[in-house]
Amino acid sequence: MKPAAFEYHRPATVAEALAVLAEVGHDGKVLAGGQSLVPLLNMRLAAPRHLVDVNWLAELDEVAVDHDAVRVGAIARHARVEHDPGAAEAVPLLRQAIEDIAHTTVRNRGTVVGSLVHADPAAELPAVLVLLGGSVELASAGNGPRRVAAADFFVGPLESALRPGELATAAVFPRPPAGSGGAWVELARRHGDYAVCGAGVLVRLDQGLRVASARAALISVGPVPVPVDLTDALGGQPHDAADWAAAGRLAAAAVDPDDDIHATAAYRRHLAGVLTARAARSAAAAAAAKLEASA
């Protein structure tokens, strides 16, 4: 099918984009990579009257790595972040999760920030942002920019805290604390498909290579990414012999998936346990390898 007609705006600056977005309000939609939006338009599941094309805003095309975080501008493509050595070194989870997003063809155009704003419950990056305690920067005309923590940003399926007239300008993925390792695992029916379930885990080890803290964020098992603290199951245990299954049980108990045509709720819950256990083990191994390399 073809999209319904819309009015096309191509602002040359962020200020101009914000002015247009303020003017069109509820009738406007931001077009970044379009890899989720254009299918919705083609199928006429969405028919905004105004599209504001932000792909021309060079000021939003950045991947900046500093001491604290990886900051990704609104039109940085998945592929760019995926292949950025600095970003991969600072937050290895980012690359791991991005590699599971669709296919190269889609990652060449889709954007990291767009994926966050789209807030698909099956998407990887919202969970990564939640797991790392990151945030999204929002700008609007007439108001100062605001920064929304990941925990508050994802409101429901396909619903974020973005207000009409606002533009998400960047996302901030903090570096995990020293001694941490991360892992992303997911199961999809076919490579590149939406995950039936996915789990990211971040494990922090103490100097004796025992688990100091651990947490997970799961996708496709609830309306928004589900954070689970795994420290009760793993805390104080050796990095290579912790009770991974107990961590899995915590995750399985924390999620409340629905049945759908792809999987039953019971199968998704089962996967939440298995994938969390698997990711926790890899995350602990990654943390230990990093600590041993720096020792």
Q: How far is the C-alpha of 66 from the C-alpha of 54, rounded, in Å? A: 25
Q: How far is the CB of 6 from other proteins (least distance, A)?
A: 6
Q: How far is the CB of 31 from other proteins (least distance, A)?
A: 7
Q: How far is the C-alpha of 246 from the C-alpha of 64, rounded, in Å? A: 38
Q: How far is the CB of 59 from other proteins (least distance, A)?
A: 18
Q: How far is the CB of 267 from other proteins (least distance, A)?
A: 23
| Nearest residue (CB) to other proteins, 41 versus 214 | 41
CA neighbor of 197 nearest in space, from 96, 276, 99, 114: 276
Q: Could you tell me if residue 76 is left (phi over 0), alpha (psi between -120 and 50 degrees) or otherwise beta? A: beta
Give the number of other CB atoms < 10 A from CB of residue 157. 12
Q: How far is the CB of 249 from other proteins (least distance, A)?
A: 33
| Nearest residue (CB) to other proteins, 31 versus 117 | 31
The residue type of 208 is G
Q: Which residues bind other proteins (CB under 8 A)?
A: 1-8, 10, 31, 34-35, 38-39, 41-43, 51, 53, 55, 79, 102-106, 108-109, 190-192
- CA dist 9 → 18, 49, 52, 80, 96 (Å): 11, 11, 5, 25, 35
